[in-house]
Structure 1
Amino acid sequence: MALITLRKNLYRLSDFRMHGTLATLKSQPPTHVHKVVKDCPCSWFCSQQPEPFKVRFHHARCKKFHLENGNDLHPLRGPVFSQVSDWDRLDQNVKNQDSQRFYKRLSNLTSSEEVLSFISTMETLPDTVAAGALQRICEVEKKDGDQGLPKEILENSIFQALCFQFEQEPSELSNTSLVTALQALILLHVDPQSSLLLNLVAECQNRLKKGGLEVHNLCILGESLIRLYSPGCEILELIISQLQGEKLETFTPEDIVALYRILQACAEKVDEHQPFLNKINNFSLSIVSNLSPKLMSQMLTALVVLDQSQALPLIIKLGKYVVRHIPHFTHKELGRVLEAFIYFGHHDRFLTKALEQHVAAFHLTLDPEVVSRVMEYCSRKLILSKRILSAVAETFVCQSEKFSPSQISTLMEPFGKLNYLPPNASALFRKLENVLFTHFNYFPPKALLKLLHSCSLIECHPVNFMAKIFHPFFLQRLQGEESHLDRLSRAQLTQLFLTSILECPFYKGPKLLPKYQVKSFLTPCCSMETPMDFHLYNSVKIGLIDLLGARLYFASKVLTPYYYTIGHCSLPEGRTGKPSMLADQVSECSTLSWPTVEALRVGMMGVLSCIDV
């Protein structure tokens, strides 16, 4: 983290422009160099350096002093400079400022230089205005990344004057100005040990212990201290304790989400805070409709970190309103939303339809991370959306260089899992093959195995890469530091090996060693085969029990000596043995509907004709 060390000699410039509170102090030839006031508490700002002259500020309950050439500083009596105003007259003019117009204009400024230039033209600078200016500087600087302030801003006299005002008189600041200034300076990476931050934090602690901070300010202070110190600091526990004593009805939607973020930072104490979280989850149902896309994303992220699976009504309601905001999420926000729904297992047809429209319209401009999240969502929830899959296939063909190896693996998995070949399948797999040839060694072993396995499921057999993945070196990388290879990886390897035997007889490369093979594809974590419809499977199972007399006479997912998985059944006594006659007896099962009977008849004709009954 880059830490700011602000310029210590505050007023070096020969033309330090300040209107009213920012007075123009012009250079004059001094008869001697003034010594720095030793009892000045602003050591972070002021230091001795050889200059044409030195300007000293001595704060004693806001009394003002000015420089007289060659003499000591004397209190101001009358308007020695026509543009000079006392600091203690600032707050008196707050009501004369058009606050809405000020903040609107401030929000339109796009650089720190513009913000500083704007406030230098103001006749008065109340603490609320100064805090707002710092906050805006923080916002515009953070757009370019999480970096500290550039040198030209640090050395800007107006910026230094802003900081000086907050350092010297923190007790005179309003609660909002105090916590806003602290938040902005922390985000700008000011040195935590500087007297500026130490003074502000000390004042915040003092007001916190007295119980003088409002809900919104408590939330801002809590998040600021998490950044400055750590979630385990004692003062944060005091903030959470005070927030627990407040009525949730007094919280704005922004405050509720800020509270989630604070508790998210203390995730290791989630059990301790769970009763409070339950209250927040229940109350949040009433504010979901008022949340912005950004706040929705942050709330869902916090719910994931805090593992609030029991807050299902809140998650469902968030899903309902997320649908309305799909086009308005940033790429990062949409990725986090989908990650949360994957985590909680939530999906509905309206969300799928909204994603279809969004991905189809903007697939060539979407961030690769968002594309991979959308595909992971489809894969986990078994959503066969041809619009999404086709659009993503086109995106990969056009912009394959933007995707990382892990993202490519995640992107390709749904095609195999959902058994879908996009219209541009030839171009897609040609591009994929080129990427693999070029960057094979950059793919994580498990991601590469998952990718090649997905290709084989849709009969795009990766023959050119089988020799590499069956090689002992790759298998050793795949195993890593574990004592043995996990069952899922062994099952994927086995299916690829069987593919080379059954579908690619021309493959003459290395074989998979028996110790890496499995005899059954039933894995505890997931199915290696196309998932069957659960309700149809139950209907067929009930019909077969009725037909054959007991469950023990049939089985599913049986691996034959020919390496294919089939359904197997053996006939009990009293049943005819010819497949056609057995299939005809299905119609006698009164527990089955007519469509199921027909499906079962056709299926049994196919299965029973392949096995010895």
Structure 2
Amino acid sequence: MALITLRRNLCHLSDFRLHGALNTVKNQPVNHVHKVVKEHLCPWFCSLQAEPFRVRFHHACCKKFHSENGNDLHPFGESVYSQVHDWDSFEQNFKNMDEQMFYTRLNNFTSSEEVLSFISTLQTLPDTMAAGALQRICEVGIKDDDQRLSKEILENPIFQALCVQFEQEPSNLSNTSLVTALQALTLLSVDPQSSLLLNLVTECQHRLKRGGLEVHSLCVLAESLLKLQGPGCETLDLIIHQLQGEKLEEFTPEDIVALYRILQMCTEKVDQHQTFLNKINIFSLSIVSNLNPKLISQMLMALVVLDQTQALPLVIKLGKYVVRHIPHFTNQELGKVLEAFIYFGHHDRFFITALEQHVASLYLTLDPEVVSRVMEYCSRKHILSKPILNAVAETFVCHSEKFSPSQISELIEPFGKLNYLPPNASALFKKLEDLLFTHFNSFPPKTLLKLLHSCSLIECHPVNFMARIFSPYFLQQLQGEESYLDRLSLAQLTQLLLTSILECPFYKGPKLLPKYQVQSFLTPCCSLETPVDFQLYKSVMMGLIDLLGARLYFASKVLTPYYYTIDVEIKLDEEGFVLPFTFDEDVHKRVALCIDGPKRFCLNSKHLLGKEAIKQRHLRLLGYQVVQIPYYEIEMIKSRLELVEYLQRKLFSQNAGVHW
């Protein structure tokens, strides 16, 4: 193992074959060191400098020396290094420091300055740990999304010494040090053609062709090359081929997840690697219990990107362990987990309970993206979770300014879809109305339409905005560059028009033009109604035939003039007699049977979805006698005779004058 010597007076010890990092710097003119690092890390290094600068060393022992050009050395970053003890207190050799302790301390640092300060106190540094230090410097030193280190870090002699050492003697590095150093530099916007990276990559390729890299190094190298050269990298195929030849039992859980990440970045090659993926999916079942929250979220996300719908047993098992880790996920990791569960359609009551507890306890501190993802999950799976919905409603009232227009829509829509008004509904929709008045034009047209339509489902009618959305200008914006408006938008506009007529008779503004109105809310792809459950419909139809005496006395799937489709319609004359469905004259009352299967309710509940609630509400306002036949009542019936008696009670108990 190569040792990077960090103290000048140890550079010539016979025990160390490699010159130390600072020794390397010491034996070169200052301008040369600056030139080497500048050349290796260009162009991003150069762009940080307004003018040439001179390297000035500051080290725990450097104050005792003079610079080679005769100038005094001045402390660099005095405030940062003020906590560094005198070197005399660190006379023990680095070998006496436990390796685990080193990495523990390294991972506790939150800035590059802290890392540099720490390693500057060490006597010697093994190359593996030097690579780990370089990686930590890059991880914590990147500012914002710029992927650049600050000028102060780049000018630091310790950082420069590390770069020079790795560039000059890559052949003397261990496999771990080599790939770790390469991985560290890929975190930055380093020129792929820089000599530093080229030397490291060349040495990696040389060892790869010799078959000298173990599993972990192969995984790290593959991810680094993907970042540097993309999925078209020729070396990548050789790495994957070598990984396929290894026994999965010898992979650590971290390496298995790394395999998923590698294949995730090569989606265009998924088909040719599917057999290998199937083996990984099966083997991964045995390591799920050893995964931490970060690895679980990464594995789930990779399964989504790779479209591994056949790996549902793995998703289900991951879901069980997600429940245990929910309090420990970062916002970003939890968002990935929810996205994966939405994709695979996974849910269970234990996960929902844990999610409720997490959201309810941290709702005021959750990231807006996570809040919108939680609401999307509830919406997609029709999960009526009152603790989550109440907490999110309170979050929006308190921190509405944190949410973008799309996030606001994702947050509000589930209330309409799940047909639920939270306890603070008045404050919630008042806040929403104020935001819409202020930022109406900031909302994309389709997002705005979905948002307002969702409000109407739960009788929070957007009367103050109907004139705007029915206007030709908004409809033109809604259409955009397309030659026509999509079917769903037209259906939502039509239902809002019907709402304005039936539930808001005081609205006297513009109406939706007939050419924008649909003829039916029930369509194959983008329906505002849920199709009737066939098996449930078949059972009810047989009972009606026994009750009414013939199929002639009721009609099925009737499209009304008001765009809704009725599951079963029964016509009554003025005296209450049931008429054949072919009769259109002397019809005094129409009975609409809503045969509601499980898909018309929220998950595992007896609570109607918003689109079914508004349908029944509108049918009543249109004069229909609505009779609901829910699946959970039919399931309790054990015989055909019981079914007939049940239908008789449902249809005629409130109409004593009805005859058949």
Same fold flag (TM > 0.5): yes
Q: What is the match of residue 314 of structure 1?
A: 314
Q: What is the match of residue 117 of structure 2?
A: 117
The reply to whether residue 196 of structure 1 matches residue 196 of structure 2 is yes
- Give the deviation of 1:536 after TM superposition: 5.8
State the alpha-carbon separation in 2 of the partners of residues 550 and 365 from structure 1: 62
State the alpha-carbon separation in 2 of the partners of residues 507 and 35 from structure 1: 79
Cα shift readout 1:243-280 (whole Å, capped 9, x = no counterpart):
11111111111111110010000011111111111111
Q: What is the match of residue 76 of structure 1?
A: none
Report the identity percentage: 74
- Give the deviation of 1:121 after TM superposition: 2.0
State the alpha-carbon separation in 2 of the partners of residues 379 and 51 from structure 1: 58
- Give the deviation of 1:227 after TM superposition: 0.7
Query: Could you say if the C-alpha distance between residues 52 and 491 of structure 1 is closer, same or farther in structure 2, counting changes exceeding 3 Å?
Result: closer
Q: What is the match of residue 150 of structure 1?
A: 150
- Give the deviation of 1:516 after TM superposition: 1.4
State the alpha-carbon separation in 1 of the partners of residues 542 and 564 from structure 2: 25
Tell whether the 8 Å contact from 1:539 to 1:592 is kept in structure 2 after alignment. no
- Give the deviation of 1:101 after TM superposition: 2.3
Q: What is the match of residue 484 of structure 2?
A: 484
Query: Could you say if the C-alpha distance between residues 254 and 34 of structure 1 is closer, same or farther in structure 2, counting changes exceeding 3 Å?
Result: closer
State the alpha-carbon separation in 2 of the partners of residues 54 and 142 from structure 1: 22
Letter in structure 1 aligned against 2:226 = I
Query: Could you say if the C-alpha distance between residues 35 and 181 of structure 1 is closer, same or farther in structure 2, counting changes exceeding 3 Å?
Result: closer
Letter in structure 2 aligned against 1:356 = E
State the alpha-carbon separation in 1 of the partners of residues 228 and 310 from structure 2: 32
Query: Could you say if the C-alpha distance between residues 177 and 103 of structure 1 is closer, same or farther in structure 2, counting changes exceeding 3 Å?
Result: same
Q: What is the match of residue 502 of structure 1?
A: 502
- Give the deviation of 1:386 after TM superposition: 1.2
State the alpha-carbon separation in 2 of the partners of residues 209 and 554 from structure 1: 78
TM-score normalised according to structure 1 size: 0.81
Letter in structure 2 aligned against 1:415 = F
Query: Could you say if the C-alpha distance between residues 403 and 207 of structure 1 is closer, same or farther in structure 2, counting changes exceeding 3 Å?
Result: same
Q: What is the match of residue 577 of structure 1?
A: 578
Tell whether the 8 Å contact from 1:106 to 1:136 is kept in structure 2 after alignment. yes
Tell whether the 8 Å contact from 1:300 to 1:337 is kept in structure 2 after alignment. yes
Tell whether the 8 Å contact from 2:397 to 2:427 is kept in structure 1 after alignment. yes
Structure 1 residues 244-323: aligned runs within 5 Å: 244-323=244-323
Letter in structure 2 aligned against 1:358 = H
State the alpha-carbon separation in 2 of the partners of residues 440 and 54 from structure 1: 56
- Give the deviation of 1:107 after TM superposition: 2.2
Cα shift readout 1:296-346 (whole Å, capped 9, x = no counterpart):
111111111111111111111111111111111111111111111111111
Cα shift readout 1:341-395 (whole Å, capped 9, x = no counterpart):
1111111111111111111111111111111111111111111111111111111
- Give the deviation of 1:413 after TM superposition: 1.2
Q: What is the match of residue 207 of structure 1?
A: 207
Letter in structure 2 aligned against 1:115 = V
- Give the deviation of 1:191 after TM superposition: 2.2
Query: Could you say if the C-alpha distance between residues 490 and 545 of structure 1 is closer, same or farther in structure 2, counting changes exceeding 3 Å?
Result: farther
Tell whether the 8 Å contact from 1:19 to 1:121 is kept in structure 2 after alignment. no
- Give the deviation of 1:114 after TM superposition: 1.9
Query: Alignment partner of 1:107: what SS?
Result: helix
Q: What is the match of residue 229 of structure 1?
A: 229
Letter in structure 1 aligned against 2:300 = L
- Give the deviation of 1:484 after TM superposition: 1.6
Tell whether the 8 Å contact from 2:520 to 2:564 is kept in structure 1 after alignment. no
Between 1:457-466 and 1:175-184, the stretch displaced more is 457-466
Tell whether the 8 Å contact from 1:470 to 1:512 is kept in structure 2 after alignment. yes
Letter in structure 2 aligned against 1:604 = L
Tell whether the 8 Å contact from 2:55 to 2:155 is kept in structure 1 after alignment. no
State the alpha-carbon separation in 2 of the partners of residues 197 and 406 from structure 1: 41
- Give the deviation of 1:600 after TM superposition: 3.8
The reply to whether residue 604 of structure 1 matches residue 651 of structure 2 is yes
Tell whether the 8 Å contact from 1:497 to 1:511 is kept in structure 2 after alignment. yes
Query: Alignment partner of 2:568: what SS?
Result: strand
Query: Alignment partner of 1:311: what SS?
Result: helix
- Give the deviation of 1:18 after TM superposition: 4.4
Tell whether the 8 Å contact from 1:356 to 1:387 is kept in structure 2 after alignment. yes
Query: Could you say if the C-alpha distance between residues 364 and 540 of structure 1 is closer, same or farther in structure 2, counting changes exceeding 3 Å?
Result: farther
Cα shift readout 1:404-445 (whole Å, capped 9, x = no counterpart):
111111111111111111111111111110011111111111
Cα shift readout 1:479-514 (whole Å, capped 9, x = no counterpart):
222222111111111100111111111212111112
Root mean square deviation of aligned Cα: 4.0
State the alpha-carbon separation in 1 of the partners of residues 548 and 272 from structure 2: 56
Tell whether the 8 Å contact from 1:27 to 1:52 is kept in structure 2 after alignment. no
State the alpha-carbon separation in 2 of the partners of residues 560 and 130 from structure 1: 76
Tell whether the 8 Å contact from 1:491 to 1:521 is kept in structure 2 after alignment. yes
List gaps (5 residues or longer) in structure 1: 1-15, 56-66, 71-92
Q: What is the match of residue 447 of structure 1?
A: 447
State the alpha-carbon separation in 2 of the partners of residues 409 and 543 from structure 1: 43
Cα shift readout 1:172-209 (whole Å, capped 9, x = no counterpart):
10000000000001112222221111100000011111
Cα shift readout 1:434-472 (whole Å, capped 9, x = no counterpart):
011111111111111111111111111111111111111
State the alpha-carbon separation in 1 of the partners of residues 374 and 278 from structure 2: 30
Query: Could you say if the C-alpha distance between residues 598 and 527 of structure 1 is closer, same or farther in structure 2, counting changes exceeding 3 Å?
Result: farther
The reply to whether residue 169 of structure 1 matches residue 153 of structure 2 is no
Tell whether the 8 Å contact from 2:453 to 2:496 is kept in structure 1 after alignment. yes
Q: What is the match of residue 394 of structure 1?
A: 394
Query: Alignment partner of 1:125: what SS?
Result: strand
Structure 1 residues 174-189: aligned runs within 5 Å: 174-189=174-189
Q: What is the match of residue 375 of structure 1?
A: 375
Query: Alignment partner of 2:125: what SS?
Result: coil
Query: Could you say if the C-alpha distance between residues 171 and 558 of structure 1 is closer, same or farther in structure 2, counting changes exceeding 3 Å?
Result: same
Letter in structure 1 aligned against 2:403 = F
Q: What is the match of residue 353 of structure 1?
A: 353
Q: What is the match of residue 13 of structure 2?
A: none
Tell whether the 8 Å contact from 1:18 to 1:120 is kept in structure 2 after alignment. no
Letter in structure 1 aligned against 2:352 = T
Tell whether the 8 Å contact from 1:543 to 1:591 is kept in structure 2 after alignment. no
- Give the deviation of 1:103 after TM superposition: 1.8
Tell whether the 8 Å contact from 1:384 to 1:418 is kept in structure 2 after alignment. yes
Query: Alignment partner of 2:578: what SS?
Result: coil
Query: Alignment partner of 2:310: what SS?
Result: coil
Query: Alignment partner of 1:310: what SS?
Result: helix
Query: Could you say if the C-alpha distance between residues 286 and 610 of structure 1 is closer, same or farther in structure 2, counting changes exceeding 3 Å?
Result: farther
Q: May I ask how many residue pairs the two structures share in their alignment?
A: 553
Q: What is the match of residue 75 of structure 2?
A: none
State the alpha-carbon separation in 2 of the partners of residues 143 and 539 from structure 1: 65
- Give the deviation of 1:560 after TM superposition: 2.8
Query: Could you say if the C-alpha distance between residues 607 and 359 of structure 1 is closer, same or farther in structure 2, counting changes exceeding 3 Å?
Result: farther
Between 1:175-184 and 1:320-329, the stretch displaced more is 320-329
Q: What is the match of residue 403 of structure 1?
A: 403
- Give the deviation of 1:526 after TM superposition: 4.5
Query: Alignment partner of 1:275: what SS?
Result: helix
- Give the deviation of 1:108 after TM superposition: 2.4
State the alpha-carbon separation in 2 of the partners of residues 25 and 210 from structure 1: 30
- Give the deviation of 1:42 after TM superposition: 10
Tell whether the 8 Å contact from 1:45 to 1:164 is kept in structure 2 after alignment. no
Letter in structure 2 aligned against 1:222 = A
Tell whether the 8 Å contact from 1:416 to 1:455 is kept in structure 2 after alignment. yes
State the alpha-carbon separation in 2 of the partners of residues 112 and 336 from structure 1: 29
State the alpha-carbon separation in 2 of the partners of residues 114 and 239 from structure 1: 36
Tell whether the 8 Å contact from 2:183 to 2:224 is kept in structure 1 after alignment. yes
Tell whether the 8 Å contact from 2:147 to 2:187 is kept in structure 1 after alignment. no
Q: What is the match of residue 470 of structure 2?
A: 470
